[in-house]
Structure 1
């Protein structure tokens, strides 16, 4: 699959180098190629779609009601330009206080059109073109395009393949005097790992030492899109609890399984040094990056959206069903602690070939090469329960034909 998704760019010099660099990223080309192929078949009857974190059942009535409640305008400026809505900021800050036991203030919340722009804004706020951003593989597959578009340099390291934890030694070795940002994603997409408190404390200590050695602060960007999607009563810990130079990016699209409704935020912990200056920078970027505030309707609805989530128990039941069945068939995988995903060892080295064998049986998953980690595939738990049950014979047949099950 990877070989057919190649850049169509020529050597013409009349397009900016940065734009050409973004359009030529191999991992992005693979993702775009896969999405294009998937778009042609996703509505075929009878398929089992485990590819993206998209909904496959009707949205919760509470979510619909929260939006419907705000459709009727209260005044003539109801749908006028909106910046950071005060009530939305208060609701988000109070929610973070409850979740992390950190006294976030409403002014710490910078509302954005989803997690994408929160991540991009964070990097542009603290890094200059040419600075380096360190992140771990397998990654969310759009880190590199966002980094490159900002004029920054992606630096990739591998996680611990046995525990799916961050490899702190690898991160330390990757840090140079040009390092400005380290990205942490927990609960992790695609592995489902929640990084333990002990690891985050060691990471904070390492970044402090590296910053002192460089004579320049290294910021930590915590991608917490799934921080409400945790299983078995697990306690989620944010790097912001241990490292004051943390920028926290969040998206409501995961919490409510509504990724097409673009609303999120970037939050600054109260212990962040020079927080007042950074607040001013972020406020300017919200405008300069294209008025990236969420639309008015979503801002009005946000206080209600903070009062509930999707049915995490249902996700956990699907996780348990797939985990037990797949391990029983001979697949190797960790039981995820959070997020929407199972990250499964491919029974054969060529994960693209194996995922195509599943696709031939109307079961669609994402191959590990899309996450720059060959030899795995990702299953999204947002598939509905009927899809889960229909997929089991196909998973069993595919591993049997691979000579493993």
Structure 2
């Protein structure tokens, strides 16, 4: 039996899921799961990259322990974050988390060199102050980038640590705001205007490309050999590959973020799309015309503050019993990285919630309303009418949110509480090997 391993890492947790073909059907088994999260170091938010890589290796060991050592391994993570390496391939400084606030001034400086209107026409990427383009410019302003010889997005960096081979995968690269939507290559004009070094931007590799064999050191540590292969390394790109969409229907990949969108053949970079803050991110042979909406991040932060001892099932039931019908704009920057999510809700709302159930009902209702607004924009911008909406990821298990979404969006919600990113990751590996 030939096994494939999807290492699917999100901002709050990671999982190792083994896949294999049995009687013509993809079978899966989760063999390892671990917690992930940002660290506060001084005034900065960073990823503990050493611990993260140790967990990747721990999962590789676990796959062998359960008798399913993979022949192929693919890694996907969230987008926009990256590692800078020096001439000796050593990490320069910390790997910043996208919620770090260092990019606010950098974004204004970038737009002083090239307007966002022009950026959008060229790349099709929505404005978010944590986009890689602004992070890299912040690193230029601080001097961090001066000694950099390589830039690798996070899954590419983890692949490099496993193999010693550097690849820059296409779908994740498009999230940087530095890839031209027409040529599908790094946009040299933008890179030149920002004064970034061209050597940081190599040839882009498509999903399904082989990275290389595991290094001798890793093979000795885990006890077997395997080949690392590129899935769609942006977890949402892999998730869309994992959704069994039967027609031209939109999707929500619901996790820390909720990404609502539609598969389209070409990027849509008109003024309506820019004003609606829609993004055109690369997929496996298409674009994902989508909008990033604050997702379960808000819910998880409220849970941590208000009732860490309760299960999500209990939280949903308490929200169902609540009659609190006020909402917030979940995409307001106030909720991006607050010290207290509860406090920000209290300040934002005119009527303060009286119970945990009130807070969570407010959060779910706010998400559903944002989905409704985004779906209306999607219909207007594409000229398409929708009667179905696929929802995958952890948020698909939230029955109350699904019901609210169905009512507000006036569509049939098809909730698939599957590990869509891991399934898409595995499908791309299997197709690439063939």
TM over 0.5: no
Bigger RCO of structures 1 and 2 (CA < 8 A, at least 6 apart): 1
* TM-score, normalised via structure 2 length: 0.28
* TM-score, normalised via structure 1 length: 0.29
